[in-house]
Each structure stands twice: as structure tokens, then as C-alpha cells.
Amino acid sequence: MANAESKKRPGIMLYFETIRNCTKRLDFEEKGRLFDAILAYGEDGNLPDFSEEEDLSLCIAWDVIRPQIDNDNLRYQEKCQMAQNAARARWSD
């Protein structure tokens, strides 16, 4: 996900419906591990090291949450590119 050329986002979005549905069966320790994984992935692109044998619930939750982080990142990069293009067009005259 992370790209050296891309602008680093200031944060990530957490969606109530997705997060609540993904975490309702997790205990507090699992929720903490998932939250740390979300932050690490959103900031630096680091994938979590959840083991399917030990952390199946976390793997399933991650499989739902990761695409939203990726989609939000793509939209952010596109928005930054559009703003950059608009600034170039404005100052090129």
C-alpha cells in the first residue's frame, strides 16, 4: 500500500458500522492488536502478523477492514493529485 512517491496521509478513517461489526466478538486484547495493526498499516503500510491458526477472528476482521483503508488511501492520493494539478494550472499562467 505505501508508496515512496505518495503523500503520507495525516490519518485514517474508522467507520462505525465496519469496526463495530468486525470487533463485536473480539476481546479487549484482540481489539487492541487489531487497532495497532490498523494504525501501522495506515501509517507505514506494515501488514499485521496475525496467524490464522491462533488469530482467526483477527484475520477475518482484518480482511474486512484492509480494503477500506486501501480505498481511502487511493481516494486521498487522487484528491492530492487533483489539487496539485489545479495549483499547477493556476500558477502556470
pLDDT of residue 28: 96
**What pLDDT shows up at residue 14?**
94
Residue 3 pLDDT: 45
Please give the C-alpha separations between residue 74 and each of 3, 42, 59, 64, 91, in angstroms, as whole numbers.
11, 12, 23, 17, 26
Return the pLDDT at 6: 57
Are the beta carbons of 72 and 12 closer than 8 angstroms? yes
State residue 9's pLDDT score. 82
Q: What is the pLDDT of residue 8?
A: 77
Q: Which residues of the chain have pLDDT under 50?
A: 1-4
Q: What is the pLDDT of residue 49?
A: 92
